[in-house]
């Protein structure tokens, strides 16, 4: 199965995995699953780091690689597709995650209740 992690899910997995539901933890830990992280999450974390709201290890890409996570780029179709999403959520990062999950048939692991209102398959983190 193919899964996409919301930004907070990635951070919890790396720093505080007990925050995750048992189901989400089991899915992420299962090496038979394909786990992806969007470049939009890296962008969001970088912005928060620059604002002093997040400590981010310099080797975050190496850590993600060692976890077996794939990095999902943002394509032009996804960027333009945002305009077709209902305006349920105001957060542009989360809207892009929804669009990527929709376009690539990912199950999105999140605890964001706004994201769960979109027509994409989600699992509660």
Contact present, 97 and 44 (Cβ < 8 Å): no
Task: Give pLDDT, residue 78.
Answer: 95
* Spatial distance between the Cα atoms of 55 and 46, rounded to a whole number of angstroms: 9
Task: Give pLDDT, residue 117.
Answer: 97
Task: Give pLDDT, residue 89.
Answer: 87
Which tokens in the block code for residue 26? Answer: 């089991």
Task: Give pLDDT, residue 91.
Answer: 95
Counting every residue written for the chain, the total comes to 125
State the fold for domain 2-124: Rossmann fold (3.40.50)
Residues (pLDDT < 70) of the chain are none
* Spatial distance between the Cα atoms of 51 and 28, rounded to a whole number of angstroms: 29
């Amino acid at each position: 199965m193919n899964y996409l992690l919301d930004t907070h899910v990635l951070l919890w997995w790396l720093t505080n995995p007990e925050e995750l539901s048992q189901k989400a933890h089991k899915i992420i830990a299962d090496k038979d699953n394909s786990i992806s992280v969007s470049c939009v999450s890296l962008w969001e974390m970088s912005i928060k780091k620059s604002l002093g709201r997040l400590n981010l290890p310099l080797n975050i890409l190496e850590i993600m690689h060692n976890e077996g996570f794939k990095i999902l780029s943002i394509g032009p179709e996804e960027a333009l597709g945002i305009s077709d999403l209902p305006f349920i959520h105001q957060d542009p990062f989360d809207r892009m995650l929804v669009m990527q999950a929709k376009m690539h048939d990912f199950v999105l692991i999140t605890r964001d209740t706004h994201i769960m209102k979109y027509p994409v398959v989600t699992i509660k983190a």
